[in-house]
Amino acid sequence: MEKITEQKWQLSKDWFKAIKLPWEFFLILITALVFTLCSFASPYFLDVWNLSDATFNFVEKAIVALPLAMLIICRDIDLSIASIIALSSVAMGFAAQYGLGLELIVIIGISVGVLCGLFNGWVVTHFDIPAIVVTIGTMSLFRGISYILLGDQVLKDYPDGFEYFGQGYIYWVFSFEFALFLLAAVFFYALLHKTNFGRRCYAIGNNPTAAFYSGINVKRHRLLLFVIVGALAGVAAVLLTSRLGSTRPTIALGWELSIITMVVLGGVNIMGGAGSIPGVFIAVFLMGIVTFGLGLLNVPGIVMSIIIGGMLISVIATPVLIKKFSHRGS
């Protein structure tokens, strides 16, 4: 009996090792399964306009997740992304109150994001402080500045045309936000997977010391990634503020968890050195379908947060369990 059990274990282990399918393949399977379950769970799920409106719930987060994936591949992280969105939104709100034009308001929103990212990157690279420590601090700093500047006020006197960024449609059911996300996905795919810049991200993530001695300016590269993340957080602020039509200091509160979950669920190693933009792209839709389906079923927001947290823990734990499984009995 013991011999038979050992043989079965060996067969299962050999079968497991024989499967070398990419993480993206499993994400596609899970996404298809969730999509099918949701279509049976609610009669309103397959309505094309409902699906189109559902994209508004995750596109702003997804736009930030793309550059954040590259930053995490480089062994860094930015936990202040939601607070950058809030501060950028507040800056746009005050710009609108002072009567500035549409173009200037958008430029100010993105510029504040760039400056916040630059500040994060400069502190991390100049003082050699871990990014998680710095951005936990700036998460409170940027959000605190937003509260100080705005208090309990709501700013909503934006000029005509501003609402198009977050509410407009380019063609039929394709919103401006969604089209911008698709363009961003193509851009970051090319940047990470087809350029020397992307190859440097993987090199730094796998071994920053070796990358330095191979001639890569590691600090400058990391600084630039923080700036890119800040810039896309500024873009997300423009879209979100436009969609809501107002600015509050609580805007994008708690988005850090959702955005990081998108990245990690997409197969990006939280320890750096591995991951892909296609994986993050698929994970974005998976999370969007999950939240949209649960919303149609009237699942409370706190339960959704529990589910998202569970997904994050499961994805982080899965590689560890796989490694233990593949080495067990060796």
Task: Report how many domains make up the chain.
Answer: 1
Single-letter amino acid, residue 224: L
Report the C-alpha gap between 252 and 237 in whole angstroms: 9
**Residue 259 located in a structural domain:** yes
Residue 17 lies in a domain: no
Residue 220 lies in a domain: yes
DSSP-derived letter for residue 246 is: S
Report if residue 13 sits inside a domain. Answer: no
Nearest to 67 by CA among 176, 225, 204, 193: 225
In a domain, 25, yes or no: no
Task: Look at residue 181 and tell me if it is in a domain.
Answer: yes
Domain that residue 114 falls in: 43-315
Residue at 122 is within a domain: yes
Cα–Cα–Cα angle for 37, 318, 73, rounded to 5 degrees: 105
The CATH number for 180's domain is: 1.10.3470
pLDDT in tens, the chain (330 residues): 545 545 544 444 454 454 566 888 888 888 898 889 888 888 888 888 888 888 888 899 999 999 999 999 999 999 999 999 999 999 999 999 988 889 999 999 999 999 999 999 999 999 999 999 999 999 999 999 999 998 888 988 899 899 999 898 998 888 999 999 999 999 999 999 999 999 999 999 999 999 999 989 999 999 999 999 999 999 999 999 999 999 999 999 989 888 998 998 898 988 888 899 999 999 999 888 888 888 888 878 788 778 777 777 776 676 667 667 666 655
Q: Which string of DSSP letters, residue by residue, matches 251-303?
A: TTTTHHHHHHHHHHHTT--TTSS---HHHHHHHHHHHHHHHHHHHHTT--HHH
pLDDT for res 282: 93
Phi-psi region for residue 128, left (φ > 0), alpha (ψ -120 to 50) or beta?
left
Report, in angstroms and rounded to the nearest whole number, the Rg of the chain calculated over CA atoms: 21
* 55 is a domain residue: yes
